[in-house]
């Protein structure tokens, strides 16, 4: 658990009702933070609200790509939860298909959520974070640095997030620390709303292709986030942490 000075601090997180975001939200709550979640998927929000929603986790429905909705979320958080100390830009979507079939509207939707959303949340949260020497953590991706076919929209946004991270670190320093985390293969197949949750069967080969011997888990990302939010680690800013079990360092020959 965190030291007493961290207890009750408010953390903003986008896309926190499913996948990595859900696990991070629950971990932060366990560590004593109060968490304000902005989630676009209304079904995921409603499902969590109907279940057991721990006290200290606050769910809001909205689109990170909408300036109006981002401003409303942060204003509600301030009035209903408390002044934010930290922001985690996690929300992301993809539209993976051959570029000849990728519609402009699909391209723009991915940019609006992944990149513009990160910009908007950082813009409107930063005045509050500056009061507390807080931090921003952006979820980037190893796809900012390496690719599979047909991932142009997603990869472009993650490359943008990588650059936006170090730009924000310089602009908002020294009051706000800004870092990025680039996950590799993290299995979140079971951490979805019930209509989509389906634990995939990971093979021995899936695990062996990683130098550490296994596919990643959402907890691997949550562990680093907790570390970066701790004021004792405040000498770290403008950095990108690749959490991929060593895959981007592995030479592969056909």
DSSP letter for 195, please: T
What is the spatial distance between Cα 12 and Cα 241, in angstroms, rounded to a whole number?
A: 20
**Rounded to two decimals, what is the model's pTM?**
0.95
The pLDDT-based confidence of 200 (bands split at 50, 70, 90) is confident
Higher pLDDT, 130 or 206: 130
CATH topology of domain 4-249: Rossmann fold (3.40.50)
Hey, where are the domains in the chain? 4-249
Q: Identify the pLDDT of residue 195.
A: 76
Is the pLDDT reported for residue 234 higher than 50?
Answer: yes
Model confidence band, residue 253 (pLDDT cutoffs 50, 70, 90): confident
Q: Is the pLDDT of residue 1 over 90?
A: no
The separation between the first and the last C-alpha atoms of the chain, rounded to the nearest angstrom, is 46
pLDDT band at 189 (very low <50, low <70, confident <90, very high): confident
User: In the block, which residue shows the tokens 């929603």?
Assistant: 53
182 band by pLDDT with thresholds 50, 70 and 90: very high
- Using an 8 Å Cβ cutoff, are 34 and 85 in contact? no
Q: Kindly list the strands in the beta sheet with 34-39, ordered across the sheet, starting from the edge strand earlier in the chain.
A: 57-61, 34-39, 10-14, 84-89, 135-139, 177-183, 240-243
128-179 per-position pLDDT tens digit: 999 999 999 999 999 999 999 999 999 999 999 999 999 999 999 999 999 9
61: CB partners within 8 A, 6+ apart? 38, 39, 40, 42, 45
**At residue 4, does pLDDT exceed 80?**
no
Q: Which helix (H) or strand (E) holds 42?
A: helix 42-50
Active site residues: 154
The count of other CB atoms within 10 Å of the CB of residue 226 is 18
Q: How far apart are CA 122 and CA 89, in angstroms?
A: 8
pLDDT on residue 193: 73
Q: Average per-residue pLDDT in the chain?
A: 94
């Amino acid at each position: 658990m965190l030291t007493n000075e961290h207890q009750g601090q408010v953390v903003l997180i986008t896309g926190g009702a499913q996948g990595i975001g859900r696990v991070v939200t629950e971990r932060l709550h366990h560590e004593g933070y109060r968490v304000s979640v902005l989630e676009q998927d209304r079904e995921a929000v409603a499902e969590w609200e109907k279940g057991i929603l721990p006290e200290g986790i606050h769910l809001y429905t909205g689109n990170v790509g909408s300036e109006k909705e981002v401003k409303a979320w942060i204003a509600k958080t301030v009035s209903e939860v408390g002044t934010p100390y930290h922001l985690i830009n996690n929300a992301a979507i993809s539209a993976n298909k051959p570029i000849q079939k990728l519609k402009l509207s699909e391209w723009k939707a991915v940019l609006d959520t992944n990149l513009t959303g990160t910009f908007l949340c950082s813009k409107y949260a930063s005045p509050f974070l500056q009061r507390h020497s807080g931090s921003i953590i952006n979820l980037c991706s190893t796809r900012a640095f390496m690719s599979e076919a047909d991932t142009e929209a997603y990869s472009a946004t993650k490359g943008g997030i990588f650059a936006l991270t170090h730009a924000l670190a310089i602009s908002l320093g020294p009051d706000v620390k800004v870092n990025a985390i680039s996950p590799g293969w993290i299995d979140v197949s079971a951490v979805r709303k019930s209509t989509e949750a389906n634990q995939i069967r990971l093979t021995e080969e899936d695990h062996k292709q990683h130098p550490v011997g296994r596919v990643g888990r959402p907890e691997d990302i949550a562990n680093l986030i907790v570390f970066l939010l701790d004021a004792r680690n405040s000498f770290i800013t403008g950095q990108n942490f690749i959490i991929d079990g060593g895959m981007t360092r592995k030479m592969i020959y056909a």
